[in-house]
Amino acid sequence: MSFKHTLIATDFGESAKKALELAIEISRKFATRLTLVHCWEPPSYAYGGGLYAPVDTTTPMQEAAARHLREALIDLKTHVPDAEVLLRTGRAWEEILAPAKQIGAELIVVGTHWWRGLGHVLTGSVAAQVERMARAPGRSYGAVQAAYYA
């Protein structure tokens, strides 16, 4: 088994840190390129059939996401010097799969919180959705769900 490019998704939580450790280990073992991606989704508020936000919530969220990603890259480069990062906006599973295809990632590593409840039942976890969609016909990469309890 050989990989040339691994994509690792992060939400900066504990399970994502464990998944990142796994991705670093894989990158070292197979001498793969490593790209860390973080996705954030702006909140939307619907009132009376339209979208309305009384204050700018997206700029601070985007700035915080970018700051966390820069900090993660500094640490990541101590382990994988040529690592890269991507900041994406939108639904997490879509914004993990889109760049994976663009960069030609053969492997996707995603941590999971193992959350349960109505939200999980209705939408599924990001990790499960990435795994399901990455294995869909026409996809050119495999998916690994790196499952760790947070």
Mean pLDDT of all residues in 126-143: 63
Among 9, 127, 11, which residue's Cα sits nearest to residue 64?
11
User: pLDDT by residue (tens digit) across 51-70?
Assistant: 666 677 788 889 999 999 99
pLDDT above 90: percentage of residues in the chain = 33
And the tokens for 51?
Answer: 């979208």
Per-residue model confidence as pLDDT tens digits over 73-97: 999 999 999 999 999 999 888 899 8
Backbone angles phi, psi at 62, to 5 degrees: -65, -40
| Tokens found for residue 90 | 């939108």
Cα separations (Å) of 125 from 78, 93, 99, 112, 116?
30, 9, 19, 7, 9
Residue 20's φ and ψ, nearest 5 degrees, are -65, -40
State how beta strands 84-89 and 50-51 pair.
Answer: unpaired
Please give the model's pTM, rounded to 2 decimal places. 0.77
Q: Are 30 and 3 in contact (CB under 8 A)?
A: yes
pLDDT at residue 69, as a whole number: 94
Taking alpha carbons only, the member of 143, 41, 65 closest to residue 97 is 143
